[in-house]
Structure 1
């Protein structure tokens, strides 16, 4: 609401405001105050006339003042539930509930200015409904998985080649400008400073107080200094995972874990793709095994690419996972379960065919991960594609989707 009021006021000052400046500063100030008060009143009335509720296994939301909009969403389409608390909301004890649904970029539902307790109880109720349980089911317990020490976060973010290089160049420009007395040199320091703020201070503030836990209703993530966030990813929503290991992080033995999460699209997908910002390597593989039950990502043997490619390129396939490793300076390991791969492609251009090599891609739902194995022998690539297609068909035919996962497990237990 404050952001909407500020946005309307700024637009007024930027567009009709200059035309009205001729009436004098007093009139201009009064009109600006009137616009700000009017937009505040409209936002308050719109919020006051908004309502929501649960009807069986549907979430019903009514919004709008002049243009009334009603939405009724089956919770079987629920993909993720986040509780977000910007700094002002933390001070006021409020929270915003963000519900991600299957269905594209316009499927997100935001319930703003809820009490913190109300938001967390509604989150638990939505997750229970999505699992096929009663909305009055108590919140599922959780087990600690990983708490990120602030010192490790600080050191890992600083211990990267782009950050170190930008910082050294910034110091050199400052020192050079002072030494020669030429302030124009300092102008080049401003873009570097902005880059450092985005690449270092931004992630530092975002992932401060990071805590991850495991629960029957999914992976729970809590993080943020100025915008506290509680993110819950229900079981089966993670489609692919990658481990990012910059060159300097190898001495620390840590990686970053990212994922393609079903339901998040566009900018929200990129904003929510990091599952663990900095974590020891063995814990990263442990999380992958939790996200994809019955797998052992660390145990998949990797085979190097054909000659002519970097020594880091490799591919591994077992009965459950497609694992591709690439990169020399920044090592990336991409992991896709066969059941989550939407398609498997083998591509080979004219030059690649002359060299007898091909590229194998495992396509997944939209996200930052594009699992690809380059430099594979043509015969090997064909065997891999045929094998993954067979494994994927078997995995999908023997397992159901992620909807109502709790009741399915209960039914299976009764049958056993």
Structure 2
């Protein structure tokens, strides 16, 4: 039911050419020939949409209609179901998707027709998501992230699991500058997260331990009050319930999300597989990671593990926060090794770090070399943020009224939207100006050497395999 690492390469796509579909509707090629012709989503999409419409009707207006009698409720539910069947079936029939040259073409809509033709050079990431029900039915949802903000996401729901995998491989091949019939790229195992380590790391955090302790104290206080007065104190329940909900969100949620976590490296990018109730396969193509953050909570340092997060181009808003974690729990050495894989030719360990001139530990340290802009800050939770010069959008030096009196400034390297904001505070103003000028010069030189992330498979500097 869950995503497992492949044991062999996918077979080559068939070589027969499918004719283009006529104007009246898409021609249905064979199931495996997803790189040619036009296709529709799986027919099971129609009954699923009808079921959803009926459930929403029964949950909202159905409770009011029930007062008129069961017969009226049954009659109106039947009418809603018939209307939903007609609308969903026509919408499904008039919707299609397909690959045309190196463009993804999507037609959708019944009352208001919409056609999108997207060059795959803008492709930022491809995710295959399988909620629990879809796993049971053998279906999957394909999510294509493009450069373009909130309007840059395309969702194809639902496809068979095999077709979603083949379409994902075809999209990545086109985006890399290869043929859509190119066999699925091989991959090399990078890291599999043991369940025991995940369980221990999530529990071994100050917020979780503090919440558990406070919850136990509240329950003990409530039990003592009940034993002395004979009645239960409502205030205990009012404090214990939010704590319990917070624990479920902060502990149980990540535990279920990242169970069976597996990461691998491939010529078409970083592949992540994880989840039980919503199995997910995420592929981030080369060059789409804009910045990396390595987080070391104070208790995790004893375990020697870190969390690796990233700003990924294309993800915005809630989708960015939902997909920013690359490795939820990983040994420190592998966390820094992944940063080197994501930014080829760099080595964070060789970047010399300089503490702030103010001498305060909380101001952290800064390191700049020919490839990287690196900041480190935090005492309770140490955070190391890594931005390659080729991904820096702008450089900023900020001096507020109080900072001016102290003679210090903050230097920040801006990247595309995400949780990472690489900043170094407490730098002397003269030093900050030199840092901005020097980093800008490094950035100009790095961008002249780089051809950009598009068509990564046809560039001369494309890696053939990880070390």
TM-score tier by shorter-chain length is: over 0.9
Match in the other structure for 1:303 = 354
Kept in 2, the 8 Å contact 1:347–1:360? The answer is yes
Shift of 1:294: 0.5
Shift of 1:347: 0.8
Q: How does 1:291-370 map to 2 (within 5 A)?
A: 291-307=342-358, 309-311=360-362, 313-370=364-421
CA offsets 1:158-208 (integer angstroms, 9 cap, x no match)? 000101111111122222222322241223211111101100010000000
Q: What is the CA–CA distance in structure 2 between the aligned matches of 1:226 and 1:94, rounded to whole Å? A: 14
Match in the other structure for 1:67 = 112
CA offsets 1:96-144 (integer angstroms, 9 cap, x no match)? 1111111110111111121111111111111000010011111111001
Given the superposition, is the C-alpha separation of residues 7 and 95 from structure 1 closer, same or farther in structure 2, using an over 3 Å criterion?
closer
Q: What is the CA–CA distance in structure 2 between the aligned matches of 1:90 and 1:48, rounded to whole Å? A: 24
Match in the other structure for 1:105 = 150
Given the alignment, which residue of 216, 221, 240 partners 1:176? 221
Given the superposition, is the C-alpha separation of residues 143 and 161 from structure 1 closer, same or farther in structure 2, using an over 3 Å criterion?
same
Residue aligned with 2:459, SS: helix
Kept in 2, the 8 Å contact 1:304–1:311? The answer is no
Structure 1-normalised TM-score? 0.94
Q: How does 1:26-105 map to 2 (within 5 A)?
A: 26-36=71-81, 38-39=83-84, 42-105=87-150
RMSD, aligned CA: 2.2
Q: Which runs of 5+ in 2 are unaligned?
A: 1-44, 227-231
Match in the other structure for 1:271 = 322
Q: What is the CA–CA distance in structure 2 between the aligned matches of 1:243 and 1:412, rounded to whole Å? A: 24
Given the superposition, is the C-alpha separation of residues 313 and 173 from structure 1 closer, same or farther in structure 2, using an over 3 Å criterion?
same
Match in the other structure for 2:10 = none
Kept in 1, the 8 Å contact 2:291–2:310? The answer is yes
Shift of 1:27: 1.6
Q: What is the CA–CA distance in structure 2 between the aligned matches of 1:410 and 1:313, rounded to whole Å? A: 35
Given the alignment, which residue of 290, 300, 304 partners 1:239? 290
Q: What is the CA–CA distance in structure 1 between the aligned matches of 2:74 and 2:110, rounded to whole Å? A: 28
Given the superposition, is the C-alpha separation of residues 29 and 164 from structure 1 closer, same or farther in structure 2, using an over 3 Å criterion?
farther
Residue aligned with 1:105, SS: helix
Residue aligned with 2:383, SS: strand
Given the superposition, is the C-alpha separation of residues 24 and 183 from structure 1 closer, same or farther in structure 2, using an over 3 Å criterion?
farther
Match in the other structure for 2:334 = 283
Q: What is the CA–CA distance in structure 2 between the aligned matches of 1:405 and 1:139, rounded to whole Å? A: 15
Given the superposition, is the C-alpha separation of residues 187 and 411 from structure 1 closer, same or farther in structure 2, using an over 3 Å criterion?
closer
Given the superposition, is the C-alpha separation of residues 324 and 3 from structure 1 closer, same or farther in structure 2, using an over 3 Å criterion?
farther
Given the superposition, is the C-alpha separation of residues 126 and 353 from structure 1 closer, same or farther in structure 2, using an over 3 Å criterion?
same
Q: What is the CA–CA distance in structure 1 between the aligned matches of 2:409 and 2:124, rounded to whole Å? A: 35
Kept in 1, the 8 Å contact 2:187–2:264? The answer is yes
Residue aligned with 2:98, SS: strand
Match in the other structure for 2:34 = none
Kept in 2, the 8 Å contact 1:143–1:214? The answer is yes
Q: What is the CA–CA distance in structure 1 between the aligned matches of 2:290 and 2:129, rounded to whole Å? A: 23
Match in the other structure for 2:198 = 153
Q: What is the CA–CA distance in structure 2 between the aligned matches of 1:196 and 1:36, rounded to whole Å? A: 40
Deviates more, 1:309-318 or 1:213-222: 309-318
Residue aligned with 2:272, SS: strand
Match in the other structure for 2:449 = 398
Kept in 2, the 8 Å contact 1:254–1:279? The answer is yes
Q: What is the CA–CA distance in structure 1 between the aligned matches of 2:321 and 2:432, rounded to whole Å? A: 30
Deviates more, 1:70-79 or 1:207-216: 70-79
CA offsets 1:203-250 (integer angstroms, 9 cap, x no match)? 000000000000111000000111111100000000000011111111
Kept in 2, the 8 Å contact 1:312–1:328? The answer is no
Kept in 1, the 8 Å contact 2:124–2:284? The answer is yes
Shift of 1:377: 1.2
Residue aligned with 2:460, SS: helix
Q: Which runs of 5+ in 1 are unaligned?
A: none
Q: What is the CA–CA distance in structure 1 between the aligned matches of 2:432 and 2:72, rounded to whole Å? A: 73
Given the superposition, is the C-alpha separation of residues 354 and 149 from structure 1 closer, same or farther in structure 2, using an over 3 Å criterion?
same
Q: What is the CA–CA distance in structure 2 between the aligned matches of 1:145 and 1:338, rounded to whole Å? A: 26
Match in the other structure for 1:192 = 243
